[in-house]
Amino acid sequence: MIEEKKLSNGLRVITAPRENTDSVTVLVLVGAGVKHEEKRVSGISHFLEHMLFKGTTNLPTPLAVADVIDRVGGVCNAFTGEEYTGYYAKVDHKHIDLALEWVSDIFLHSTFPLPEIRREKGVVIEEMHMQHDDPRDWIHMLWYSLLYGDQPAGWNILGTEKSVSELSRKDILSYKDAWYVPSNTVVCVAGRIEPSYVFRTVKRLFGGMEPSPLAPSILTQEKQVAPAVLLEFRESAQTHIALGVRAFGLLDERKYGGMLMATILGGMMSSRLFITIREKLGLAYSVSTSCEMDTDVGFLSTMAGIKNEGVEKVVQVILKEYKRMTEEVVSPGDLQKIKDHEIGKMTLQLESSSSFAHFLATQELLEGRILTPEDVYGMIKNVRGSDIRRVAQDIFRNDRLNLAILGPLKSEKPFRNILHL
C-alpha cells in the first residue's frame, strides 16, 4: 500500500498507510548535508536546520513554532547527516492537517531573522563543545577525519567555530535556494492516513515550489595504500577506539552481507567481539560494530571504550576476528541467528510511524527506489555464509585498515606495529 507520486515541479510524495497505529508522521527530507558544503561555510546544512525552527511568516518566533506541536502532545525535530537533512512532526492522526501545515510552514516560509542567526551561532558552538567533551561522540569525528581527511566527508557536520561564526544570512539563503529545490526533496507521510487526501494536501502546500536545476554532487575521494592510525591525546580514565576498514557504498549489492557480518562481529550482546572483549576479558563496557554506507563510500568499524592498559590487547582481538571472517564460513546456525536478529530488530524499529517514514524517504532520496520491509527481509534471507566470507575477503585488507584512538596514550608506534591482518 506504499504509494509514490511526483508533483509537476519534481517533488516526490510517499504515502504509507498503517492500520496498527494511531500516529502520523510527516517527514520532509532534502538531499543537503555536509557533503554538499564548501569549506568556507562548513556546517551550514546543520545551521540551516536549526534556523528553520526560529520563525516563519505565520509563526514569527521560536516559541510560536514550538507551541503548535506542543499543544497537541506531538513530537517535532530535525536532523542533519552527510547527505540529507530532515524535518518531521509526529502527532495523533486526528491532527494530521496541523502536522502537514506546520512542516510545510517551517520548510517553505522561514524568515531567518538576524537576531536569531546571531543567537543560534552561540548555541551551535556550545553543541560543538558538548560533542568534543563526549569521547563517544568525538571518536566518531576522529574516525571520519582519518578516513576522508580535508574534504566534505571528513568534516564535522557541525562545522567549525570559525565557519559558523562567519556565516551570513546571505550564505544561508543562497545555500537553501541551491539545495532545497523540489527535485531534491521527498515528502513522506506514514501512519493512520488516507493516501488520496494526503497527496492532495501535499500538492496544495508544496506545489508552489519553483523547479530549479540541481548542482552535481562531488564524490568523495578515497586513497590509501597502508594501514593508518590517528591518535589524539586526552587525559581520561578510558581510551576510546574506532577500528575498521573502508568498505562500499549504499548501492553495492554486498551491503546485506556487510550488515550481517557487522552483526555477528559486534552488533548484539551475544556477538563475538562483545562476548570476548567485555564478558571474557572484562576490558570494556561498550563494544559495537556497524557497517555504514553513503551513496559513494562506506565502512565497517568497531567502536569501544577500553581500559587504558588494555588497548593493544583489544585491537589485537578485533583484528583476529576480522581475519577469522575471511577464513571461515559462518555456520548455518549462526547465519540463521544473525538473519533473525536483523529482521526482528528492523520489525520492532518500523513499528513507529516516524521510523517507517525515515526508512522509506531515505531509500527514495538516496537510492531512487523503495523496497518494502518484506523486500529487505527477502534480501537478508538470501545471503549465504559464503557471501559474507567473500565480503570479508574484499574489505579486510591491510590497505583498508584504519584505527582512531582517543585517550591518554602518547605514541602511535605500538599500534602501527600490530595493525595488520
Q: State the burial class of residue 234 (Cβ atoms within 10 Å of its Cβ: 0-12, 13-18, 19+).
A: middle
Interacting residues of 397 by C-beta distance below 8 A, sequence separation 6+: 245, 421
Ranges of H-type helices in 284-419: 311-327, 332-349, 353-367, 373-381, 385-395, 413-418
Q: Which of 90, 78, 99 is nearest to 21 (CA)?
A: 90
83 is catalytic: no
Out of 19, 38, 49, 328, the active site residue is 49
Answer whether 76's CB lies under 8 Å from 90's CB: yes
- CA 178, CA 16: separation in Å to the nearest integer? 29
Q: Which amino acid is at 44?
A: I
What phi and psi, each to the nearest 5 degrees, are found at residue 194?
A: -110, 105
Is the distance from CB of 276 to CB of 209 less than 8 angstroms? Answer: no
CA angle, 34 then 38 then 42, to 5°: 55
Dig out the grid coordinates for 312 from the structure. 593493544
Contact 54, 65 (CB under 8 A): yes
Total count of residues recorded for the chain:
421
The strands making up 228-233's β-sheet, listed across from edge to edge, are 228-233, 401-407, 238-246, 298-307, 284-293
Helix (H) or strand (E) holding 120: helix 114-133
**Alpha helices in 134-271, H assignment, sequence order:** 135-148, 161-165, 169-179, 195-206, 255-266
**223 burial level (CB within 10 Å; 0-12, 13-18, 19+):** exposed
Please calculate the CA angle 395-401-402 and round it to the nearest 5 degrees. Answer: 135
Q: How far is CA 297 from CA 221, 273, 284, 292, 421, in A?
A: 9, 25, 29, 9, 22
Residues labelled catalytic: 49
